[in-house]
Structure 1
Amino acid sequence: MNKDTTYTISELAREFDITPRTIRFYEDQGLLTPARAGRNRIYSRADRTRLKLALRGKRLGLSLAEIKEILEMYGAADNAPQLAHFLKVLADRRRALAQQLEDIEVVLGEIDLLERQCTELLDAHRAGQGKS
């Protein structure tokens, strides 16, 4: 693959299993800036990489603002600041997910308790009906 390789919106959509509308949305949000040939968008290898990073950020649950901030650092001669910032974003995301997991475990515990209580009440009700 040479550095002059270009892609159409359909090719990228197919490769990443997303819709062209998703790619246009990322463009509207300033995450991608393809060249134009008339009405057609022409995506470069750098655009493809930015799309890949944006989709990865989305999978990680990052906001569009966080994704954009990281992408704005992409391609800098010194990528150490980008990597340091990305590590901070990942640590923040890990903390948020850990809190969500803890909250979910608490709710699941409450559901378990309520299920046991309802089962006991239903069993007692059924047992009472059988004695009549």
Structure 2
Amino acid sequence: MIGRMTSAPVDDATWTIAEIADEFGVTHRTVRHYEELGLISPERRGTSRIYHRRDRTRLALILRGKRLGFPLEEIRTIIDLYDTPRGKASQLRYVLAQIDERRADLEQRRRDLEDALVELDAFETRCRADLDRLP
């Protein structure tokens, strides 16, 4: 952390691009990409980027959303809801609706994969039987 001091309040914590990229296991390019999209907005000091707690939290949410399969624009909407003065209940209802949609999509994909595996197993069984019948 930049300027890490034992007496500094936690809210004053800052990170360099290298520190934040290493912490989250992403490349500097990935972090800069999210900055270019406006998903995070580090402070600029000359050519250096200084990431604050808000950026770190937003990056964690972005990466969680990506792992769950949300597109970046949906992640932006969800994250931005937490930055607006709208009621927390409406924000949570929106996020829950998005989770329900994502879950339904993933469950359908799982059923499709299971069907494909059953088909593949049957095809493999036929191929092995055909091979066994050959001289």
TM-score by length of 2: 0.88
Aligned positions of 1:29-68 closer than 5 A? 29-68=37-76
Distance 1:24 1:100 in 2: 32
Find the counterpart in structure 2 of residue 82 from structure 1.
91
Q: CA shift at 1:27, angstroms?
A: 0.7
Q: Per-residue displacement from partner, 1:2-52 (whole Å, max 9, x unpaired)? A: 212111111101111111111001111111011111111111101100000
Pairing 1:91–2:78 present: no
Distance 2:24 2:74 in 1: 21
Task: Tell me the SS of whatever aligns to 2:11.
Answer: coil
Find the counterpart in structure 1 of residue 116 from structure 2.
107
Distance 1:30 1:81 in 2: 23
Distance 2:63 2:90 in 1: 21
Distance 2:15 2:89 in 1: 29
Q: Which has the higher contact order (CA 8 A, sep 6+)?
A: 1
Task: Tell me the SS of whatever aligns to 1:61.
Answer: coil
Runs of 4+ in 1 over 4 A off after TM superposition: none
Q: Which protein has the larger Cα radius of gyration, Structure 1 or Structure 2?
A: 1
Q: CA shift at 1:81, angstroms?
A: 2.2
Aligned pairs, how many?
Answer: 126
Distance 2:21 2:89 in 1: 31
Task: Tell me the SS of whatever aligns to 1:3.
Answer: helix
Unaligned runs of at least 5 residues, structure 2: 1-8
Residue 47 of structure 1 aligns to which amino acid in structure 2? D
Unaligned runs of at least 5 residues, structure 1: none
Q: CA shift at 1:82, angstroms?
A: 2.0
Residue 60 of structure 1 aligns to which amino acid in structure 2? L
TM-score by length of 1: 0.90
RMSD of the alignment, in Å? 1.2
Percent of aligned positions that are identical: 46
Distance 1:81 1:32 in 2: 23
